[in-house]
Structure 1
Amino acid sequence: MTSADLSSGPRSLRLAEWPVLDGSALPEEQRTVFQRRKLAVEAYARGDTLLGIAEAYGVHGYTVQRLVFRAQQAHPDGRLWGYRALAPHVRVRSYVRSKAPLVLGHKTGGNAGAFAQLLLRHSSLKVQLRGELEAGNVVLHPGERGRMTGVKGVAARFQQACRELGLGAGDYPLNQEDKAIRSLGRTLRAWLQDDFDLAARVAVARAKPASALRQLPERGASDAFDTVEFDAHKMDVRLRVIDCDPLGGEQSFETERVWLLAIIDVATRCILGYTLSFKRECSRFEAIATFRRAVTPASAPELTLPGLSLLPSGGFVSQALEQTRYACWRQIRLDNARAHLAATSLDVVCEALGCAADFGPAYQPDDRPFIERFFGTVTATLSRRLPGALPGRGSAQAALKRLRDPKDTLRLIVTTQELEELLDLTVWNYHGTPHAGLGGLTPLEMMQRHVLGIGREPVRPRLIPQMLRERPELLHDPVLCRVHGNLGRGERPYITFFHVRYTSEWLARRSGLIGQRLRIHYDESDLRKVHASTEDGQIIDDLLASGPWRYEPHSLWVRQEVFKAKRRRQLEFGTGDSPIEAFLALRRKDAGKRRRSASDIAQVQRERKTASAKAKAAAIPTPTPLADALPDPASSQLVVGPVRGKRLRIERGYAR
């Protein structure tokens, strides 16, 4: 302690910021000493003289200044020592060894602080040990003592690093009987105890990050439709698809995987929308389809499986409460998946729906606890109860061995259609089941309290614009397509969208649009027609696809797969043939060998079922052929009357 520290005086003391100490926890003798020291320091901060303090409290003036100096030192927790430094027998600084280490054989004492002295002299050794922990070379097993493994390998590399620094057999730690391996282990354990994040990476079991320790705001929400969480979950279950061939026979194939995408309301735990996908990976189109399903009204599911019944207290949110139809949320939480970070997905979330996107930290699913907990409920109540489920790492091998028995068949595994019905039933009944996080209320009852104002102020959800209700395809970003055509050849205007020509009666008559660009909005689940507008925003008629692409509902994924197979010369179809049936026939050849082909068949079946349900709900008839809907552009260009020959002129330089 310097003379400057002793003469600093009480002007720099801020006792209100000092960490306090509960004196009642000390023994009686130490508690008496602590109270006298505390009163003496407080009197010194008020400006009393050192002589008066010594007479009043029995604490020497130099001791008071020494206590103040100790209290203003930095504590390992980042704060000052404060009143904690006034307790007797408390060290405010760790022990620093100055004497050279002793050469010990079988003795255990005499080298206190030698290992810390070594790391202080050679900082590269400390960096190496920290790197061993961060690289995961040391494993901390769960338990009260926290047993560590991998220390011997770290010690061997540490000793080699000591030799490379020039330390010989007569230097510490190589001159010790155990080569200071116990001191090394105690140092590693002390570092892990002081750094929770480092210990969580070293631990075998995944440690949940505490939001309170990160000083983040509460992850919950107080109002319905304020905050929602969205994520995708790969269901650990084997599925089969039943396909009917053109001859009427049924064949069963096992699919590759199935994804569940869902949006949950944080305040009420209600599932606003969900989607199944049988593709290998989820794309931005599945994410947008889930958003669209969450903001559009839902209807009661139609159950065909025997023994299934819907709970009277359950239901879908938009089906049970008319006020929530077309309702949108204020904020949505997502992870850092590429499908969520895509520009199209962000435009839908932030611009079309008008909500804020909250991307949590990567590889921390507990930052979105509510949707993850729902996925856990689906796994426990649905996935693991199905034949062919893969509940865990140990039992998965036994399940695969039993279900892949050559004598066994796929008859015990549920089909994709059955899974959709079971999922609809699960979500419906989930809304009518008491929830522990809602105080025993069901999610649907909590939503009713928020929307209807039962026991609280009612929530007025924000509704999406009327144009989005009538045309959900406007959720997608527009695609600019150039209008093609040629007046000299009599070729009417049209556009090319994903390898297929589109036109309409209105566009076919507007030759002035040739060369200009149109804004195309499309529904990726049904590309039979697209919504078009000019670059200045004038809405024109819907454009219909040409050829066989107009008659059968198909998604963008199906069209891309068809033309991909066509480029590879794996698929051929004529003018009057259905490209979708040709694609299914191609996948049927490999469905018995490749589960991905079976998943493609399941995806096409699901898209057909969804399109049929939409047409039935909206009472929209199937589009009529071109001859009945629009005048055939080709036939309208035919000349009526006698035809005169035209003289052809071959330009110079033309060669046959």
Structure 2
Amino acid sequence: MQSDIQIVVARQIKGLTDDPNFDISSWPSVDEGALVPEMAECFSKRKRAVILYLEGASDKLIFEETGIGRKQTYRLIRERCIQTHPDGRVYGWRGLIKHLRINAPHRKKKITVNNWGGGAVGALKSTMENFPELRVKFEKRVLSAASETTLSEVRRPRKANWKWLIDKFREEGLEVKGEWPFNTARLGYGSIRKYIDSILMGNPYLAAKAIGGKDLVKKLAASDGTNRPNLIAFDRVEVDAHKLDGRFCVMIPQLDGDYEPKIVHRLWVVVILEVVSRAVLGYQFSMGKEVNKEDVLKAIKSALTKWSPRKVTFSECSYHPGAGFPSSHNVRFLGACWNEFSVDGALANTCNSVADQIARVVKAKILDPDNSYSVRRTKDDRPFIETFFRTVGKNGLQRLNNTTGGKPSDKNGYDPVKIALTSQFQIEYAEDLIDTLIANYNVAPHGMLGSRSPLAYLDFITSNNKVPIRYADPGEIQNLLNTRKLVTLKGGFSTGRRPYVNFFGATYSADWLDNQQQLVGQKLWANNFLEDDARLIRISNRDGVILGILHAHPPWHQSPHSLRVRRAINSLISKKLIHFSANTDVIAELCTYVESQSNKKFPIHPAYLELRAIFQRQAQSIPSQFDSGQFNISDEIKNEHIPTSKSLDTQKKIFTPKVQDALPSRRKAIQK
């Protein structure tokens, strides 16, 4: 803070007041109210003396008012006020504070350490002045960062630097002469440690690079948030994947009809949060080893489609009144798009691989550390979603004793694995818990929103209809998770084989292709239009004309599965872990393989967990359609080359006894 004192300088001081840059009004001021009474009185007298001296007052007047002589006042100005502060400015009025050290002590006498360890004040500085080249090398070593190309040491400890300097002193012969630091008990460790700290604090950017690399240097450039852009509703969303802080199990059916719990080691939740209102638009519960592009797309689809509450089994009043998501709260927010899609460095590569789908459906720009404001700052500059995860974790899973917490001490002596197995805390319960926690968060009062809930605040800022809201096309949303690939139609009468295509490790064909021999050899688009059922694909030509539906050949023709599950199974097949014949159900073989693992702590294969989720979704949707006699595979397949009765028979095969046993007993698809 600058001084607001305006005086007329009447006394000319050579080398001071005759300098055109001399301006007492620019001197840094002092908070006099923070000083103790004795120091405040002394400062006030010194300040008055300086003002009188510069105004040209006589020695007598200065002494009468302040008790300080003219010569002493001159020394206060010359030796304290105009000296350079470590912040780069002059000390100014700060130099008048009593007992404030301006210059470091300079030792004149020889260093002599007494029997009690005293007498070595300023010894390190005096020793370093005798070896200026060594001082430069030591400071360079302290501030040096690890190489980005060759193997080198990271985060060099103070003790290593202290030992290096002691070895150099020893080479200079100080140990033989018995001089400092070899005449002290700890070889000057305390003084050298403080010297190292002063070097680091005096060079913050170089110190940050030495400690944490160039990424930590970027974090130093992060502002306090006051200069963030002024956003309106749906301008920007923040996206992140969070690994759940807990241990959960899955119940594996046994041959004797019982169930055995096995631990699931990794569960993720991908959340999309609207920045202005802090409302969570949608999320995806992922059971893979890592979050992939399909999880991100499912989270986006969740944000663009209407949410409905789950049938929670552990409580009848788990959802608070009005709990939900914007899509279910108000029809104005159903399918609402956003303009910017902000991700961190860890999720950037995953999101960039689906940038085309995001641009086509949502028409949003991906903000990552390579193309946004994060380039100048930290890769993890997404404060709102980080706060959300911290809040939900503290109010949710971290309150249970199966939590792993953010660090080992958070376990509080409990064994999360043992608790998950003995209590049979299944992943289905974790899904219910996450859904209720997020839905309830959206209706909980938020301190930064004027005690409004995120949903109430979203209503408030959009109530005047001045916020333009774009909407995604429902058809594009439905096709968001579709996988398309250009394939060649093979076979034909010349080979004696029905025309077919190969699509992601499976062969597809249909009866209607017998009459389409002219298509053999052409490039066609294959589309996996049912995200949870890769048994069927839709074929169209390169002009966009839909030709019909193809079904998978054995062993992929019986049970529903996704392409993600198929890739995992093919990986196990290539490793000789699964064996099957042409007429077997390879999906059932995966279940047999996973259920045959004897070690309870052996991690469950993610493909098995995804299969369970697919079976559960099928179990919740199809039986009611069977009962009403209104079953169709999909509205998109109507009037295309596949008989409805055959579709019904194909879908009924989903619910085999093997699939029934793969579900928890409380979620059987069909009651026996």
User: Shared fold by TM > 0.5?
Assistant: yes
Q: SS state of the match for residue 565, structure 2?
A: helix
Distance 2:514 2:178 in 1: 90
Shift of 1:309: 4.0
- Given that residues 42 and 98 in structure 2 are in contact (C-alpha distance below 8 angstroms), is that contact kept between their aligned partners in structure 1? no
Q: Does 1:575 align with 2:613?
A: no
Q: SS state of the match for residue 310, structure 2?
A: coil
- Given that residues 320 and 440 in structure 2 are in contact (C-alpha distance below 8 angstroms), is that contact kept between their aligned partners in structure 1? yes
1:497 maps to a residue whose letter is F
Shift of 1:124: 2.2
1:215–1:302 distance in 2 versus 1, CA, 3 Å? closer
Residue 48 of structure 1 corresponds to none
Give the paired residue count.
Answer: 593
Residue 663 of structure 2 corresponds to none
- Pick aligned residue for 1:460 from 439, 446, 468: 468
Q: Does 1:607 align with 2:614?
A: yes
Q: SS state of the match for residue 254, structure 1?
A: strand
Distance 2:631 2:121 in 1: 86
- Given that residues 481 and 520 in structure 1 are in contact (C-alpha distance below 8 angstroms), is that contact kept between their aligned partners in structure 2? no
- Given that residues 111 and 119 in structure 2 are in contact (C-alpha distance below 8 angstroms), is that contact kept between their aligned partners in structure 1? yes
Residue 461 of structure 2 corresponds to 450
Q: SS state of the match for residue 269, structure 1?
A: coil
Q: SS state of the match for residue 274, structure 1?
A: strand
Distance 2:397 2:277 in 1: 24
Q: Does 1:159 align with 2:166?
A: yes
1:401–1:500 distance in 2 versus 1, CA, 3 Å? closer
Residue 371 of structure 1 corresponds to 385
Shift of 1:560: 0.8
Q: Does 1:184 align with 2:211?
A: no
Q: Does 1:597 align with 2:604?
A: yes
- Given that residues 386 and 414 in structure 1 are in contact (C-alpha distance below 8 angstroms), is that contact kept between their aligned partners in structure 2? no
Alignment of 1:139-178 (within 5 A): 155-170=162-177, 172-178=179-185
1:400 maps to a residue whose letter is D
1:211–1:303 distance in 2 versus 1, CA, 3 Å? farther
2:271 maps to a residue whose letter is A
| Alignment deviations for residues 372-415 of structure 1 (CA, whole Å, 9 cap, x no partner) | 333334333432455644456357484328937xxxx9452222
1:162–1:52 distance in 2 versus 1, CA, 3 Å? same
Q: Does 1:511 align with 2:518?
A: yes
1:567–1:103 distance in 2 versus 1, CA, 3 Å? same
Distance 2:111 2:60 in 1: 47
Distance 1:13 1:334 in 2: 50
Distance 1:100 1:507 in 2: 106
1:436–1:163 distance in 2 versus 1, CA, 3 Å? same
Alignment of 1:485-524 (within 5 A): 485=491, 488-489=494-495, 494-502=500-508, 509=516, 511=518, 514-516=521-523, 518=525
Q: SS state of the match for residue 326, structure 1?
A: coil
| Alignment deviations for residues 523-573 of structure 1 (CA, whole Å, 9 cap, x no partner) | 6544344566666x6353465342253554312221012212222333233
| Alignment deviations for residues 65-110 of structure 1 (CA, whole Å, 9 cap, x no partner) | 995897676431244445545778866554455x474232336665
| Alignment deviations for residues 138-158 of structure 1 (CA, whole Å, 9 cap, x no partner) | 5xxxxxxxxxxx75x764453
Q: Does 1:293 align with 2:306?
A: no
Q: SS state of the match for residue 606, structure 1?
A: helix
Distance 2:42 2:411 in 1: 63
Distance 2:454 2:314 in 1: 26
Distance 1:53 1:9 in 2: 20
- Pick aligned residue for 1:430 from 424, 436, 441: 441
Distance 2:347 2:388 in 1: 22
Q: Let me know the Cα RMSD of the aligned residues.
A: 4.9
Q: Structure 1 residues 358-367 or 55-64, which shifts more?
A: 55-64
Q: SS state of the match for residue 261, structure 1?
A: strand
Distance 1:6 1:430 in 2: 67
Residue 282 of structure 1 corresponds to 291
2:87 maps to a residue whose letter is D
Distance 2:251 2:500 in 1: 39
| Alignment deviations for residues 453-474 of structure 1 (CA, whole Å, 9 cap, x no partner) | 4xxx653332224542342236
- Given that residues 50 and 73 in structure 2 are in contact (C-alpha distance below 8 angstroms), is that contact kept between their aligned partners in structure 1? no
- Given that residues 365 and 372 in structure 1 are in contact (C-alpha distance below 8 angstroms), is that contact kept between their aligned partners in structure 2? no
Q: SS state of the match for residue 589, structure 2?
A: helix
1:436 maps to a residue whose letter is G
- Given that residues 243 and 250 in structure 1 are in contact (C-alpha distance below 8 angstroms), is that contact kept between their aligned partners in structure 2? yes
1:103–1:385 distance in 2 versus 1, CA, 3 Å? closer
| Alignment deviations for residues 21-55 of structure 1 (CA, whole Å, 9 cap, x no partner) | 456756445434434535776x7xxxxxxx89999
Distance 1:38 1:533 in 2: 90
Q: Does 1:75 align with 2:88?
A: no
2:443 maps to a residue whose letter is G
Q: Structure 1 residues 601-610 or 55-64, which shifts more?
A: 55-64
1:258–1:40 distance in 2 versus 1, CA, 3 Å? same
- Pick aligned residue for 1:400 from 410, 415, 418: 415
Residue 124 of structure 1 corresponds to 137
Residue 113 of structure 2 corresponds to 104
| Alignment deviations for residues 259-314 of structure 1 (CA, whole Å, 9 cap, x no partner) | 22222223223221122222222222212221221222222322344544432231
Q: SS state of the match for residue 20, structure 2?
A: helix
Residue 241 of structure 2 corresponds to 232
1:53–1:267 distance in 2 versus 1, CA, 3 Å? farther
Residue 260 of structure 1 corresponds to 269
Q: Does 1:413 align with 2:401?
A: no
1:235 maps to a residue whose letter is L
Q: SS state of the match for residue 353, structure 2?
A: helix
Distance 2:531 2:182 in 1: 73
Q: SS state of the match for residue 158, structure 1?
A: helix
Q: Structure 1 residues 272-281 or 606-615, which shifts more?
A: 606-615
2:615 maps to a residue whose letter is R
- Given that residues 479 and 529 in structure 2 are in contact (C-alpha distance below 8 angstroms), is that contact kept between their aligned partners in structure 1? no
Distance 1:381 1:22 in 2: 42
Distance 2:416 2:391 in 1: 26
Distance 2:127 2:541 in 1: 76
Q: Does 1:440 align with 2:451?
A: yes
Shift of 1:225: 2.1
2:397 maps to a residue whose letter is S
Distance 2:348 2:336 in 1: 23
Shift of 1:325: 0.8
- Pick aligned residue for 1:330 from 329, 339, 360: 339
| Alignment deviations for residues 113-165 of structure 1 (CA, whole Å, 9 cap, x no partner) | 33134445212233445569995565xxxxxxxxxxx75x7644532232245
Shift of 1:247: 8.8
Distance 2:623 2:472 in 1: 24
- Given that residues 265 and 271 in structure 1 are in contact (C-alpha distance below 8 angstroms), is that contact kept between their aligned partners in structure 2? yes
Distance 1:530 1:421 in 2: 32
1:517–1:114 distance in 2 versus 1, CA, 3 Å? farther
- Given that residues 591 and 597 in structure 1 are in contact (C-alpha distance below 8 angstroms), is that contact kept between their aligned partners in structure 2? no
Distance 1:167 1:500 in 2: 79
| Alignment deviations for residues 148-196 of structure 1 (CA, whole Å, 9 cap, x no partner) | xx75x76445322322455443264344334323322332454566677
| Alignment deviations for residues 570-607 of structure 1 (CA, whole Å, 9 cap, x no partner) | 32333343221121112111164563236543321012
1:344–1:506 distance in 2 versus 1, CA, 3 Å? farther
